[in-house]
Amino acid sequence: MKPTLIRITTVPLSLKILLKGQHRFMSQFYKVLGVSSRGSDLQEVATKEGIAVAEVEMTRTIAPLKDLVSLWNFYKLCKKEQPFIVHSHTPKAGIVGMLGAKLAGVPHRLHTVAGMPLLEATGFKRTLLNIVEKLTYSCATKVYPNSKGLEKIIKAEKFAKTEKLKVLANGSSNGIDTSYFNNERFTSSQNEALKQQLGIEKNAIVFIFVGRLVGDKGINELVAAFKELSVDSSQFSVGSQQATTNSQHSKLLLVGPLETELDPLLAETQQEILNNKHIISVGWQEDVRPYFAISNVLVFPSYREGFPNVVLQAGAMALPSIVTNINGCNEIIEEGKNGWIIPVKDKDAILKAMQHCLVNEASFNIIKSNARKMVETRYEQLVVWNALLEEYEGLV
């Protein structure tokens, strides 16, 4: 009989997207149980991944009473299922999963760190989050930062003992399926049809952002920078796209949901997105590949990340990236090789990088040619999955 493996995230979308395919892979060796808050995404995970799922309601905010209820419910689930391993992702599921599993006597408690919201917190909130982070790691038997930068932060903050920490493979929580994220899957006619649907001129230069439209993703600075990028594309060329004298302005394509509760955008940013005809916001998309396929450059000016899948996806789709100098991003992107690295929260740096892409055709083409192969050689999905499986098997 296969030992039971519980994978727990705060919201089911994380189980569905961040760990896509990994559940099915691990179910060859373990009885996998996916645990998260209720929602249609949780049932979709069960169907698509072929695993059992269970609901444990969790909030993404600090809510002591609700968190205690979540902890109790997960503790009861562990006592019932008697898992060999509990593996948690995301901050709230981390404390609920690790503390609940320890109280229930689960022998192997693993936590993956894929980002630290606390890094942007201050005052009492930061102190509280630090305590929760330390408690999560103390309850875990192993902690996996998904980037070398995160590992350094954890060590510097003294959140966990060094012997508990390990970065798997070259980083990333799930790697990237480069056969799926491949721009050769999309024909020129498909790309032209989508551009026409979105009102993007054939020769327009498209800068793309993929992710939640919130403040700490750098959207306020990105939109402000793009507002100043009011130059006619006829002055520039990117790669093989030689603009004509009738070309229109560059476009900014925003792919992701607008969140208004946690870390909302500035009012002026939201107005600019609505009113600027060269900014196209398409909201949440189940499949982001068609949007990468019609774009030229990813701009990802986030304040903090663990190991961003979006940058891996863009690279696999042969797009160079403009990223901020934060952990994860500055491991995937090497300055001048497969993209450009800029300071955090710097609107002028974003603008300068976008202008550089437009006017330096030769260097752009070289960097673009490196984008996919640098992802293929370092972050192929099976490499990450097998590294994690090796960890699991080492526990037996």
Number of domains in the chain: 2
* Domain co-membership, 276 together with 367: yes
Contact 7, 87 (CB under 8 A): yes
CATH number at residue 366: 3.40.50.2000
* Domain co-membership, 52 together with 146: yes
How many CB atoms neighbour CB 390 within 10 A? 11
Question: What share of the chain has pLDDT > 70, as a percent?
Answer: 95
Tell me: the pLDDT tens digits for 260-296? 888 999 999 999 999 999 999 999 999 999 999 999 9
pLDDT of residue 262: 82
pLDDT of residue 230: 67
Contact 146, 173 (CB under 8 A): yes
Tell me: the pLDDT tens digits for 144-188? 999 999 999 999 999 999 999 999 999 999 999 999 999 999 999
Measured between alpha carbons, how far is 228 from 222 in angstroms, rounded to an integer?
Answer: 10
* Domain co-membership, 282 together with 366: yes
Q: Which residue from 323, 319, 329 is spatially nearest to 295, judged by alpha carbons?
A: 319
Half-sphere exposure of 113 (CA within 13 A, CB side): 32
Q: Which residue from 349, 326, 228 is spatially nearest to 279, judged by alpha carbons?
A: 228
Average pLDDT over all residues of the chain: 93
Measured between alpha carbons, how far is 268 from 261 in angstroms, rounded to an integer?
Answer: 17
Domain that holds residue 133: 4-175+381-393
Q: Which residue from 173, 170, 211, 208 is spatially nearest to 331, judged by alpha carbons?
A: 170
Six-digit token string for 293: 């396929």
* Domain co-membership, 130 together with 9: yes
Q: For the chain, what is the largest distance between any 2 Cα atoms, rounded to a whole number of angstroms?
A: 70
* Domain co-membership, 307 together with 389: no
> Is pLDDT of 246 > 50?
no
Alpha carbon 155 to its chain's center: 22
Tell me: the pLDDT tens digits for 27-65? 999 999 999 999 999 999 999 999 999 999 999 888 899
> Is pLDDT of 391 > 60?
yes
Measured between alpha carbons, how far is 164 from 142 in angstroms, rounded to an integer?
Answer: 5
CA distances from 56 to 6, 113, 186, 260 (A): 12, 20, 39, 24
Contact 126, 45 (CB under 8 A): no
Tell me: the pLDDT tens digits for 211-226? 999 999 999 999 999 9
Q: State the pLDDT confidence band at 244, using cuts at 50, 70 and 90.
A: very low
pLDDT of residue 103: 98
* Domain co-membership, 365 together with 388: no
* Domain co-membership, 205 together with 347: yes
* Domain co-membership, 129 together with 194: no
* Domain co-membership, 115 together with 232: no
Residue 193 corresponds to which amino acid? A
> Is pLDDT of 341 > 60?
yes
* Domain co-membership, 203 together with 338: yes
Q: SS3 breakdown of the chain: % helix, strand, coil, rounded to 5?
A: 45, 15, 35
pLDDT of residue 243: 43
Average pLDDT over residues 6-19: 95
* Domain co-membership, 218 together with 367: yes
Average pLDDT over residues 354-360: 92
* Domain co-membership, 168 together with 202: no
Reading phi first (left if > 0) and then psi (alpha if -120 to 50, else beta), residue 392 is in alpha
Contact 203, 247 (CB under 8 A): yes
pLDDT of residue 40: 94
